């Protein structure tokens, strides 16, 4: 099966990204921890890297932070800008990957990288360079918040199928195949087609998109952060601020400070 670059993968997924995510529920769960962490570190300006359709940055702007966001997918950024207009939130969104954070002339008190975005970097060298770019985007002593799946657990259990999310018009089903070093991550996008073959007839189309992930273990992230100039690492089991258990937690969140 053909694998796509992360840009192509998310360009194809962007139009239904908000359909597959219950943002009201997700932000209700995640924003208290994010805001508490930002406030504990005196952060009033935030850059959300790999921001997707922009809802974390928009929610932070609505809370009074100076917020910006970037994503390598132009379609995601188009969606993010539209969402900001609808939400009446002032957020600077730019098309930029991890190596293009210099598009933002300002530096920030905090940088976010949420939603399991770093596994798209397929080597440790690429990870370290991305983290260095995040370090450069931070003011001295700034805080970085990373959110990934807990691959220490997943590489033992190797779950193949994940929950399907969507509505009566579109559905996204996620699943994965595990190789010796990389994971092939798939999304099957089902979309309703109405009216073909006569009134009242309904059929569905399906498109499967695939891309590669490198499973980032805790040690990979910790070593990369230290090489990139970060310290004071804290580990959590999710964006609810729960305790991290390497064998049980679904997610791994790392909070680090720029030295």
pLDDT in tens, 70-128: 999 999 999 999 999 999 999 999 999 999 999 998 999 999 999 999 999 999 999 99
CA dihedral 70, 76, 81, 83 (to 10 degrees): -120
Asked if residue 244 lies in contact with residue 38, where contact means CB atoms within 8 angstroms, the answer is no
User: Which CATH fold topology does 6-150+216-258 show?
Assistant: Rossmann fold (3.40.50)
Asked if residue 56 lies in contact with residue 21, where contact means CB atoms within 8 angstroms, the answer is no
pTM of the model: 0.94
Rounded (to 5) percent helix, strand, coil in the chain: 35, 35, 30
Residue 43: strand, helix, or coil: coil
47 bridge partner residues: 68, 111
Domain ranges of the chain: 6-150+216-258, 154-213
Burial 82-103 (b: 16+ CB within 10 A, else e): ebbeeeebebbbbbbbbeebee
Given a cut of 70, whether residue 196 has pLDDT beyond it is: no
User: Which CATH fold topology does 154-213 show?
Assistant: N-terminal domain of TfIIb (2.20.25)
Residue 120: strand, helix, or coil: helix
For the chain, helix (H) and strand (E) counts, in that order, are 7, 11
């Amino acid at each position: 099966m053909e694998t796509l670059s992360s840009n192509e993968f998310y360009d194809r997924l962007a139009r239904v990204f908000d359909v597959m995510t219950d943002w009201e529920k997700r932000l209700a769960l995640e924003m208290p921890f994010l805001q508490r962490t930002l406030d504990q570190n005196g952060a009033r300006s935030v850059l959300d890297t790999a921001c997707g359709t922009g809802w974390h940055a928009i929610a932070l702007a609505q809370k009074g932070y100076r917020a910006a966001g970037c994503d390598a997918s132009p379609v995601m950024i188009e969606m993010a800008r539209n969402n900001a207009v609808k939400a009446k939130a002032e957020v600077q969104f730019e098309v930029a990957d991890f190596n293009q954070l210099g598009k933002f002339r300002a530096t920030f008190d905090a940088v976010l990288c949420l939603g399991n975005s770093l596994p798209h970097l397929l080597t440790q060298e690429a990870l370290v360079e991305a983290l260095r770019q995040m370090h450069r985007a931070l003011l001295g002593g700034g805080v970085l918040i990373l959110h990934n799946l807990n691959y220490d657990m997943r590489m033992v259990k190797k779950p193949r199928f994940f929950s399907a999310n969507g509505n009566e018009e579109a559905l996204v089903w996620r699943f994965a195949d595990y190789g010796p070093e990389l994971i092939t991550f798939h999304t099957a996008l089902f979309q309703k087609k109405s009216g073909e073959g006569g009134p009242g007839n309904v059929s569905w189309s399906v498109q499967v998109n695939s891309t590669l992930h490198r499973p980032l273990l805790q040690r990979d992230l910790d070593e990369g952060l230290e090489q990139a100039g970060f310290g004071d690492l804290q580990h959590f089991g999710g964006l609810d601020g729960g305790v991290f258990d390497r064998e049980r937690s679904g997610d791994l969140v790392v909070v680090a400070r720029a030295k």
